[in-house]
Amino acid sequence: MDAATMKRQFLEYIEIERGRAVKTVENYDHYLTRFMEWGQIKGLGDITEEKIREFRLWLNRQQGTAGGAMKRRTQNYYLIAIRAFLKFLRKRGMESISPERIELAKLPERSLDLITDAELGRLLKAAEGTDQRHLRDKAMLELLFSTGLRVSELCALNSDIDLSRDEVSVRGKGDKVRVVFLSPSAKDAVARYLKARKDMEEALFVNILTVGKNSKKAPTRLTPRSVERMIKTYAAKAGITKKVTPHVLRHSFATDLLSNGADLRSVQALLGHASINTTQIYTHVTDAHLREVHKKFHGKNR
């Protein structure tokens, strides 16, 4: 069977039947194409354990985007794509090597970029102001911390948001819908921003156009990159020297919940993680809590 044809069918399958995002499909296409071109894969019989082993060795010797060797996490992306392709072939009754034979490289434990409660407070205060730009930025910061939204999910919100409720439905990765909750301060910040809006754009967060040459242009939906730049600016203004991104606020949301007694499964649902394994990067918070429990309650009768 022609490998290129099956690859196309696989990409169509994950997009249509599995509902994967277009970007994910593009990434899988890139990883599989690179593997097939490197290994001169024409038919499915050309995909062997030996060829995959040699490909792993080749990847390990490639230069990464930031210089140095390619990161193991990036190498794993290639292996995940190949493994998913082999599973698809099995599902279609095609002869192929077992996808379970492909083991991913072990990764060092992921470290979290976190800011302290004091730094978070300074960051939120840095966006105080009464003009539309400051009101918008304050609303974004409050929403990110209140809901734990991904930056892409924040940018996808529309201005018909119902502030009479404490919850909002968002569509996250894999087109999955989940409910996130608004704190009183987040609701207040969004309400003040919407009151200052004069345009009729559908998007909740739009770029602020300056008067003059842009006066006849309609504002457009903010991009994730714009939000990242905005947060970087306020972090510097707040005197925070470490790197602050929208994802850092997502981390702050999760660690705040866990340190106040929330269970990992609930945080998984609120973050929209498909697997509990992803949420377990935050176990250092619960570990600290367990240490306090042990210290407080263990061995008191001895």
Same domain, 280 and 144: yes
Residue tagged 């939906």 (tokens):
221
- Whole domain around residue 155: which residue ranges? 117-293
**pLDDT tens, position by position, 182-206:** 999 999 999 999 999 988 899 999 9
Query: What is the count of structural domains for the chain?
Result: 2
Alpha-carbon distance 187 to 164, whole Å? 9
150 is catalytic: yes
3-state SS of the chain: helix, strand, coil percent to 5? 60, 5, 35
Percent of the chain with pLDDT over 90: 50
* CATH number for the domain harbouring residue 152: 1.10.443.10
> Quick one: pLDDT at residue 214?
55
Same domain, 81 and 142: no
With respect to residue 301, please indicate whether it lies within any of the assigned structural domains: no
Three-class DSSP category at 167? strand
Alpha-carbon distance 224 to 155, whole Å? 6
56 is catalytic: no
Asked if 143 contacts 160 with a C-beta cutoff of 8 angstroms, the reply is no
Of the residues 31, 78, 193, 282, which is catalytic?
282
Q: How many CB atoms lie within 10 A of CB 196?
A: 15
Mean pLDDT of 10-20: 87
23 is catalytic: no
Q: Name residue 179's beta-bridge partners.
A: 169
pTM, 2 dp: 0.69
Same domain, 14 and 141: no
> Quick one: pLDDT at residue 210?
62
- The answer to whether the Cα torsion of 24, 30, 33, 35 is positive or negative is negative
42 is catalytic: no
**pLDDT tens, position by position, 105-148:** 776 656 667 888 899 999 999 999 999 999 999 999 999 999 99
Same domain, 258 and 125: yes
Of the residues 150, 187, 234, 251, which is catalytic?
150
Domain boundary among 101, 125, 140: 101
291 is catalytic: no
61 is catalytic: no
Alpha-carbon distance 40 to 75, whole Å? 19
Same domain, 52 and 151: no
Asked if 206 contacts 218 with a C-beta cutoff of 8 angstroms, the reply is no
With respect to residue 109, please indicate whether it lies within any of the assigned structural domains: no
Residue tagged 């039947």 (tokens):
17
